[in-house]
Amino acid sequence: MAGATPKLIKQLREMTGAGMLDCKNALNECDGDLDKSIQHLREAGLGKAAKKAGNVAAEGLISVLVNDDFTKGTILELNSQTDFVAKNDNFISLTKEITNHAQVNDIKDAETLASSTINGQEFTTFLNEKIATIGENLVARKLASVEGQVVNGYVHATGRVGVLLAATCDDAAKEKTAALLKSVAMHASAMKPTVISYTDLDPEFVESENRAIIAEIEADNDELKRLGKPLKNIPDFVSMSQLTDEAIANAKAKFEDELKQQGKPEKIWDKIIPGKIERYIQDNTQLDGRLALLSQPYVMDDKKTVEQAIADTDASIKIVEYIRFELGEGIEVEEEDFAAEVAKQMGK
């Protein structure tokens, strides 16, 4: 060995994270000079990184970082090619390092992150070196930052889902607001709301879902009828945004007419109709329960909606920002035909 000794190989591996054979070859090429060997690995690594860059990275981790005073949160999706690499300590540390870098430097999106400087290097160079060390393509695909009076978040134990929330509240309620936001973030990680409130849903989308949900229920009723089971109510609407005062008044008039036809005394209608109106609203806001955070049954206490749970904690609390990342969402992974791939390789 011209330059590679066990001690130098160990030292170079610790400094670069490169493989043992790569370190040995680099030291032999550079006559045992550590600095030249590091540069040699960097140059070789960048070549490897470029080769890896075409590979689809759909695994990885979501990272959430909230500062000590709960006023700022950062969420990152860092992708790798395999779940095996995502569970590696080096990859986990890298995810945390990039998230911290983004928060400290007030970086709010992936584009700004890609053009930033980290540890004295351009971010792309920094990431390419990590690609060479880890041996897979890595992509810092999504990044977001939230600031507010109170911010908190949650990342699932698997690292596949993360949520950030920001809220306003009275100053005296900050501590309990931070605790509540953590719980609501856990709820959102599981229940997948797309908006904070039904008022955030696009009217055209609501109309299209109105038709689709009614068609779903009608199809369900066909099967229930075949089985001789009670049928579901067919709603008129699917969102509170559609329930105008006129719609509620029409429903009330319909219920009054039904009670009259049934011969129920008018003096007891006021004990029956509120329950019917409540059920009517539930039946006619199904889209809100699926997609609007505040309208969903709260997983910590499903007798309440999230909105009711917030009000019960403190009436001053208002959620103003919500971000949810799910690992690999939107990435198209090409299905490989193994037999065709083998045949292709054989034909070379």
pLDDT tier, 50 (very low <50, low <70, confident <90, very high otherwise): very low
CA distance 335 to 6: 43
Mean pLDDT of 257-270: 94
> Looking at the predicted structure, is the pLDDT value of residue 341 above 70?
no
190 vs 13, higher pLDDT: 190
129 vs 69, higher pLDDT: 69
Nearest CA to 285 among 231, 233, 249?
Answer: 233
How high is the pLDDT of residue 49? Answer: 45
Judged by DSSP in three states, 266 sits in helix
In the block, residue with structure tokens 């066990």: 6
How high is the pLDDT of residue 305? Answer: 96
Mean pLDDT of 265-273: 94
How high is the pLDDT of residue 52? Answer: 52
Contact status, residue 280 vs residue 258, Cβ threshold 8 Å: no
How high is the pLDDT of residue 2? Answer: 60
Q: Quote the distance between the C-alpha of residue 257 and its chain's center.
A: 47
How high is the pLDDT of residue 314? Answer: 98
For residue 150, the surrounding DSSP H or E stretch is strand 150-155
> Looking at the predicted structure, is the pLDDT value of residue 248 above 60?
yes
Q: What is the pLDDT of residues 85-117, one digit of tens each?
A: 999 999 999 999 999 999 999 999 999 999 999
CA distance 328 to 68: 29
Please report how the helices 20-29 and 6-16 are oriented relative to each other, as an axis angle in degrees rounded to 10. Answer: 110
The region of weakest confidence among 155-159, 175-179, 342-346 is: 342-346
Nearest CA to 76 among 322, 329, 325, 330?
Answer: 325
How high is the pLDDT of residue 140? Answer: 95
Contact status, residue 181 vs residue 165, Cβ threshold 8 Å: yes
> Looking at the predicted structure, is the pLDDT value of residue 272 above 50?
yes
Question: Domains along the chain?
Answer: 6-51 (1.10.8.10), 59-187 (3.30.479.20), 198-291 (no CATH)
145 vs 136, higher pLDDT: 145
Give, in degrees to the nearest 5, the angle at Cα 104 between 102 and 105. Answer: 65
pLDDT tier, 338 (very low <50, low <70, confident <90, very high otherwise): very low
How many beta carbons lie within 10 A of that of residue 298, not counting itself?
21
CA distance 59 to 25: 31
pLDDT tier, 23 (very low <50, low <70, confident <90, very high otherwise): confident
Judged by DSSP in three states, 77 sits in strand
How high is the pLDDT of residue 15? Answer: 66
The per-residue pLDDT of the chain, averaged, comes to 89
Among positive and negative, which fits the CA dihedral 171, 153, 202, 314? Answer: negative
How high is the pLDDT of residue 331? Answer: 75
In the block, residue with structure tokens 């034909």: 347
